Amino acid sequence: MRIDIAKGFFHLIMDSGYSPSIAEQSCVISPLSDEAARSLLLPTSEEAYIIKRLFLGDGIPAFLVMECIPLRFLSDPLEADNLPESVFQIAADHCRERIEYSNMTIGTVKDIDDIGRAMRLPEAKTLLRLKETHYTKANKPLIFSDIYVNDDIIHFQVRRKIG
């Protein structure tokens, strides 16, 4: 998976040679977490849709994704049963502005109980954690994504050029 090209999770899973699906999906309105509020430059009292989804590759957990979309940025409400799989398409369909680019921080986290259970992992392991802020053309933060990756399914690749 090249991390310098923005793609939806289904495409990332297919590019890794697996058949994608979504096992679980929820969409609730809640105040922003401290981390999401900092990334979006908003107060923690700001209400947002929190979309939580478990993406599978050939039935194996690949991504656990939590996306935070502040209500103030939406042109119409979201429904869990009718969401596109890609945050880029969600923004195009439901937000007042589109995603122009994203900044991602990559780290690791030792399988914490609730994440491991949510990802249906049989044993404790280290997971990749991607924290991604999606921006508008005017450089305004629009959506925050907190992503846990099972690197047994998804592998990362970066192409670097000299000079």
Question: How many CB atoms within 10 Å of residue 73?
Answer: 20
Q: How confident is the model at residue 152 (pLDDT cuts 50, 70, 90)?
A: confident
Q: What is the DSSP letter of 33?
A: P
Higher pLDDT, 141 or 112: 141
Which pLDDT value is given to residue 161? 74
C-alpha–C-alpha distance, residues 63 and 51, integer Å: 13
Higher pLDDT, 90 or 122: 90
Q: pLDDT digit string (tens) for 15-51?
A: 888 999 998 889 999 999 999 999 999 999 999 999 9
The edge-to-edge listing of strands for the beta sheet with 101-110 is 20-31, 47-57, 60-70, 141-149, 126-135, 101-110
Q: pLDDT digit string (tens) for 122-143?
A: 676 778 889 999 999 999 999 9
For the whole model, what pTM was predicted?
0.88
